[in-house]
Amino acid sequence: MRIVIAGGHGQIALRLERLLAAREHGVAGIIRKPEQAQALREAGAEAVVLDLESASVDEVAAVLEGADAAVFAAGAGPGSTTERKDSVDRGAAVLFADAAERSGVRRYVIVSSMGADPDHQGDDVFDHYLRAKGAADAYVLAKEGLDTTVLRPGMLTNDAGTGLVNLAPSTGRGPVPRDDVAATLLELAETRATAGLTLELISGTVPVAEAVKNVASSA
């Protein structure tokens, strides 16, 4: 498979790139800054410099041409403005989905957030973030040209992954290592039977591959 990851220099994305490369998948990561490219190469990924806040659909579609799956793992990040929550967490996800559809890439996996809701109330930056994420999720799930899975991890940690998770439409809140989020994304990218699902993810007791198979079989 060839997988293209938006937000290729993110903490989860770099972990995912290593896992994909280890399985001998082709992987490309979209990044904003040329100086980030070396980290992707060390992870076994091709680096594509392209700013998703200013790129056109055609430019992104050209990167996605021939891919088997698209993974949106970009984010404006902590400390960013409400404007960038909209332009990255919503706008870039929408652009990436439109480009995937245009290039014929059906499989689309998006990293969202617990509590994401386009109708979430509140005026704090985090409230804007949850609305932006919710709007992005709703948009990509509604696209008939995509087979989309939405993954909503719990509180992200840098603890070593255990490979054991709780993956379900509703899990309740809890922590999850970024290692295990990346491992779950790998399995989801390879498992089209989870298309149409919105799944929450926290640490648990079920091996990642088994957890993905379980939700796929119940879809």
Question: Given 129, 152, 176, 208, which residue is catalytic?
Answer: 129
Query: Which residues, in sequence order, are bridge partners of residue 151?
Result: 111, 199
Report the distance separating Cα 115 and Cα 129, nearest Å. 10
Q: Is 129 one of the catalytic residues? A: yes
Distances (CA, A) of 187 to 37, 167, 180: 25, 12, 11
Taking alpha carbons only, the member of 196, 106, 183 closest to residue 150 is: 196
Residue 196 DSSP label: T
- What is the C-alpha separation between 39 and 62, in angstroms, rounded? 23
Q: Report the C-alpha gap between 27 and 197 in whole angstroms.
A: 24
Label residue 199 left, alpha or beta by phi (over 0 means left) and psi (-120 to 50 means alpha).
beta
Residue 200: CB partners within 8 Å, gap ≥ 6? Answer: 114, 152, 153, 154, 167, 168, 169, 170, 171, 172
Q: Supply the residues annotated as catalytic.
A: 129
